[in-house]
């Protein structure tokens, strides 16, 4: 029977995450964007919430709680509502954990997962995007050619988060048959060349790098499963949830501003042009969330959900841009000033149409 509510456990997780986001993450968001650094203390506190360890079975050191994509979207949205860069940083271990849990064999799980169950935060990473204007998931330039009992990975990646400190990087490359495969690579593997830290329009708090794979050789055990596209769909669902979180942040902020600020003798929010704009923003955010939940729910039913995910991803990417842009408009001149976070959310929001494999549920 149709039921579009969170269950009690999910509700509990949402409350925890949003509380953490507003109390711990949001206050640090502006400075992280301006300075490009995220206080380690926040990442450590986030780690203590156990959001990563929860989904890892006990035999590998985790809490062995059920791993639901829907729950993953709730976590992603909640943290991203606080700040996108910090959310991506804090959830980066999932890039590895989720990949291994879904495609890894027993051996791979045993060897990799425990690294992400320790006392302290352990960064994970994924290398998906490539520096070309027409990047497309089904046309990766990076290749992984079979070489004896292993693979040789060659190609350039960009927007690789935390490449320097990551325990593992999941590298997406096209195999001998042109199938997109996922390969677990450690940053110190010979042939892995981590470039300068990137400068992007948004998510400035997050460390991302260009990474070159120069005939980087990995053994056969590095490959996770066969077709890695399901992982990229999970990433899109997580990113769409984060887009909803960013949009939600912009709505709430501009809503408060409009109720507080006066124009022509009344509150800005009492003007239909602004009030109806806020109404549309709220409606679109709710719609995006529901559409994305359905995509996530389909993944939890182990449906391939290619269609649902593509729709949710596209919808969320467009919506977060228009909502954050409207947020700036509601603030008028003040929306253009960095003292207010709305322009940052617009810069961050614009990224979702480009981001691939930056998070997972």
Report the site for another protein in 188-247 (rule: CB under 8 A): 198-202
Stretch that binds its own copies, among 46-54, 67-75, 182-190, 270-278 (CB under 8 A): 270-278
Q: Which does 131 bind (CB under 5 to 8 A by kind): its own copies, another protein, none?
A: another protein
246: exposed, middle or buried (Cβ count in 10 Å: 0-12, 13-18, 19+): buried
Q: What are the DSSP calls for 201-220, one per residue?
A: SS-TTS-EEEEEEEEEEEEG
Pick 46 or 295: Cβ nearer another protein = 295
Contacting range for another protein; rule: CB under 8 A; set: 89-97, 116-124, 237-245, 289-297: 289-297
Does position 273 interact with its own copies (CB under 8 A)? The reply is: yes
Q: Does residue 54 interact with another protein by CB under 8 A?
A: no
Cα 112 to chain center, whole Å?
A: 21
Stretch that binds its own copies, among 46-54, 77-85, 135-143, 266-274 (CB under 8 A): 266-274
Among residues 136, 148, 177, 302, the one that binds another protein under rule CB under 8 A? 136
8 binds another protein (CB under 8 A): no
C-alpha to C-alpha distances, 161 to 102, 158, 164, 356, nearest whole angstrom: 21, 9, 9, 12
Helix (H) or strand (E) holding 146: strand 143-147
# residues near its own copies by CB under 8 A: 4
Q: Quick one: which of 3, 106, 119, 188 contacts another protein (CB under 8 A)? A: 3
Phi then psi for residue 173, to 5 deg, are -145, 155
CB neighbour burial string for 182-210, b if at least 16 within 10 angstroms, e if fewer: bbbbebebeebebeeebeeebbbbbbbbb
Q: Which CB sits closer to its own copies, 1 or 266? A: 266
C-beta separation of 153 from 143 below 8 A: yes
Q: What is the nearest approach in angstroms of another protein to the Cβ of residue 110?
A: 32
Q: Give the per-residue contact string, 81-120, with its own copies (x = CB under 8 A; - = no).
A: ----------------------------------------
| Helices 8-20 and 69-82, axial angle in degrees (round to 10) | 20
Q: How far apart are CA 270 and CA 276, in angstroms?
A: 10
Applying CB under 8 A, does 271 fall inside the site for its own copies?
A: yes
The listed partner (its own copies, another protein, none) that binds 63, CB under 5 to 8 Å by sort, is none
Residue 133 binding another protein, by CB under 8 A: yes
Minimum CB separation of residue 299 from another protein in Å reads 12
Report the greatest alpha carbon distance in the chain: 77
Site for another protein in 156-195 (CB under 8 A): 158-159
Which residue in the set 52, 117, 129, 246 belongs to the binding site for another protein (CB under 8 A)? Answer: 129
User: Could you give the angle at the alpha carbon of 113 between the alpha carbons of 111 and 117, nearest 5°?
Assistant: 125
Chosen residue from 272, 302, 333, 339 binding its own copies by CB under 8 A: 272
The DSSP element (H or E) to which 283 belongs, if any, is: helix 272-300
Q: Which is nearer to its own copies, 127 or 331 (CB)?
A: 331
**Do 79 and 87 form a contact (C-beta atoms < 8 A)?**
yes
DSSP state of 25: I
Q: What is the binding site for its own copies (CB under 8 A)?
A: 271-273, 276
């Amino acid at each position: 029977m149709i039921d579009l509510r969170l269950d009690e456990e999910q509700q509990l997780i949402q409350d925890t995450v949003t509380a953490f986001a507003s109390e711990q993450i949001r206050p640090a968001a502006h400075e992280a964007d301006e300075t490009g650094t995220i206080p380690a203390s926040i990442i450590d506190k986030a780690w203590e919430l156990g959001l990563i360890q929860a989904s890892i079975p006990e035999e590998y050191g985790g809490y062995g709680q059920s791993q639901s994509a829907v729950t993953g979207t709730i976590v992603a949205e909640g943290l991203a509502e606080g700040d996108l860069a910090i959310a991506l940083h804090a959830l980066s271990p999932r890039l590895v954990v989720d990949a291994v849990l879904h495609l890894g064999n027993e051996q791979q799980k045993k060897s990799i997962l425990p690294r992400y169950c320790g006392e302290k935060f352990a960064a994970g990473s994924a290398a998906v995007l490539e520096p070309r204007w027409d990047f497309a998931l089904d046309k990766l330039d990076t290749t992984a050619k079979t070489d004896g009992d292993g693979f040789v990975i060659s190609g350039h990646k960009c927007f690789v988060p935390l490449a320097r400190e990551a325990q593992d990087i999941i590298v997406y490359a096209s195999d001998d048959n042109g199938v997109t495969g996922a390969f677990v690579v450690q940053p110190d593997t010979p042939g892995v060349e981590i470039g300068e830290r990137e400068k992007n329009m948004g998510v400035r708090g997050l460390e991302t790098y260009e990474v070159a794979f120069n005939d980087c050789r990995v053994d056969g055990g590095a490959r996770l499963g066969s077709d890695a596209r399901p992982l990229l769909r999970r990433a899109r669902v997580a990113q769409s949830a984060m887009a909803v979180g960013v949009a939600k942040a912009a709505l709430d902020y501009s809503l408060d501003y409009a109720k507080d600020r006066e124009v022509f003798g009344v509150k800005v929010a009492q003007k239909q042009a602004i009030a109806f704009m806020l109404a549309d923003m709220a409606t679109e955010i709710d719609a995006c969330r529901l559409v994305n939940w359905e995509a996530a729910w389909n993944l939890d039913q182990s449906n391939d959900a290619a269609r649902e995910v593509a729709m949710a991803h596209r919808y969320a990417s467009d919506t977060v841009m228009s909502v954050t842009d409207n947020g700036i408009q509601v603030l008028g001149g003040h929306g253009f000033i960095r003292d207010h976070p709305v322009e940052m959310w617009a810069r961050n929001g614009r990224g979702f149409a480009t981001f691939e494999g930056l998070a997972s549920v």
